[in-house]
Amino acid sequence: MVFGRAERRRAAAAEPVALKILVAGGFGVGKTTLVGAVSEIRPLRTEEALTEAGRPVDDVAGVEGKHTTTVAMDFGRITLREDLVLYLFGTPGQERFWFLWDELAQGALGAVVLADTRRLEDSFAAIDYFERRGIAFAVAVNCFDGADRYPVETVRDALDLDAHVPLLLCDARDRASVKEVLIAVVSHAMERSAARRQPAAT
């Protein structure tokens, strides 16, 4: 029986740490694609078709080929290491669904703000949201086919990002590229958390 208890203790010690990461950004920026590209389970999606009735409130300028929209959230999971699992929650991009963000943000370690250089202004709301709530985040510029490419520092200046906020170029369709973004978010959030725990200098 002692041996059995020791085995159970070792099994419990091996339980992975589960962390919650949000994926936010403007309408049509690639949040659903990002979650789907990296998730090791079939992602949960709450997409509905865009309709004529929604045309007055859904700005599709720049994303005219988009026919569906997330109305609640996307959900996926990825194991970064044997002891570290991320649960990804993609937020809806349209302003009329922003009331869901507060619920989704509960317990989040950090966030990815996905940006499109053709519509950088669509990222401002998400950046402001996480800055106001003190949630660690990284900005990932989704390199769409045919979109102009800019140096990282040029994009940082355009978004008025603090120097400590990670800014990366990525392809939301590519699993390896998305993993790099998620690792950057987790590392940034952990560093911020460790800095907060350090005693103030006397």
AA identity, residue 57: V
Q: Where does residue 11 fall: left (phi above 0), alpha (psi -120 to 50 degrees), or beta otherwise?
A: alpha
pLDDT < 50: residue spans in the chain = 1-3, 50-58, 63, 66-67, 70-71
pLDDT of residue 159: 96
Token pair for residue 22? 């949000």
Domains of the chain, each with CATH number or no CATH:
16-197 (3.40.50.300)
- Axis-axis angle for helices 175-197, 31-38 (nearest 10): 100
AA identity, residue 81: R
DSSP H or E run through 72: strand 68-81
pTM of the model: 0.78
Strands in 136-142's sheet, in edge-to-edge order, are 44-49, 68-81, 84-90, 17-25, 110-115, 136-142, 167-170
pLDDT of residue 71: 46
CA distance 105 to 159: 22
DSSP H or E run through 20: strand 17-25
pLDDT digits (tens, 9 = 90+) for 66-112: 445 544 589 999 999 999 999 999 988 666 566 788 888 999 999 99
